[in-house]
Structure 1
Amino acid sequence: MTEAAERSRLLYWAGVALGPIAWGLNLQGVYVLAHFSCEGTRMSGAILSGVLAIVALVGTFISARAVRRSAGAEWSDARGGGPRSFMAWIGVRMGVLFALVIANQLAASLLISPCLR
């Protein structure tokens, strides 16, 4: 497989991979920053959550772009291009889902004091 074909294949998986990775980093990062947030500023977890929600949405947009780019190729491809488009649509939906999960964790971290232990 050529390098360009391998790179374009990764575009279909961007939303599938970036959403869960961003959520996992957010979850662990908020737990790590909770101790320090009690002593200092409370905004460090909010900034981390905001940045990682944007990362999850970037994965969504990359997968959506891959779907849009390959829409015409499905008709010309002898195999139909179905599995690639299916994974890209799954990536779009997973990216949105994990961005919403990160937004919910952001809301919880803003409403609940980190000093309550």
Structure 2
Amino acid sequence: MTAAERHTRLLYWAGVALGPLAWGINLQGVYALAHFSCETTTLTGTIMSTVLVVVALAGTVISASAVRRGAGAERTDAQGGGPRTFMAWLGVGSGVLFALVIVNQLAASLMISPCLR
């Protein structure tokens, strides 16, 4: 396997990996910043959540571009290219799903006071 093939295969996994990674960082970050948000009003959690939504959607776009680029290769590939295309579509769906989860957590953190614990 050449370096170019390895790089292209990683593109198929971008949405699958970046979406859950961004959500996990967001979840732990919001919990870690809740104590400090109670004492002073800061926008750190909002900015962090916004950046991580962009990261999750970036994984979605990378996986979608891998699908589009690999669409013609399916017909020429002797093995069919089916598993790679499936993983890329799974990455697109996963990236969108986790971006929506982060947005929902952002909405909840904006509506609920962190001082209620």
Same fold (TM over 0.5): yes
Distance (whole Å) between structure 1 residues aligned to residue 92 and residue 60 of structure 2: 5
TM-score by length of 1: 0.98
Name the structure 2 match of 1:96: 96
Q: Unaligned 5+ residue runs, structure 2?
A: none
Structure 1 unaligned blocks of 5 or more: none
Taking the TM superposition and a 5 Å limit, the aligned residue runs for 1:1-117 are 1-117=1-117
- Percentage of pairs with the same residue: 74
**Per the alignment, in what secondary structure is the counterpart of residue 78 of structure 1?**
coil
User: Which of structure 1's runs of 4+ aligned residues deviate more than 3 A?
Assistant: none
Deviation at 1:67, TM superposition (A): 0.2
Distance 2:16 2:27 in 1: 18
Equivalenced residues, count: 117
Cα distance in 1, alignment partners of residues 40 and 74 from structure 2:
54
Q: Give, in angstroms, the shift of residue 10 of structure 1.
A: 0.3
Task: For 1:90, give the aligned amino acid.
Answer: L
The alignment yields a C-alpha RMSD, in angstroms, of 0.6
CA deviation after TM superposition for structure 1 residue 46, in Å: 1.0
Which AA in structure 1 matches 2:76?
S
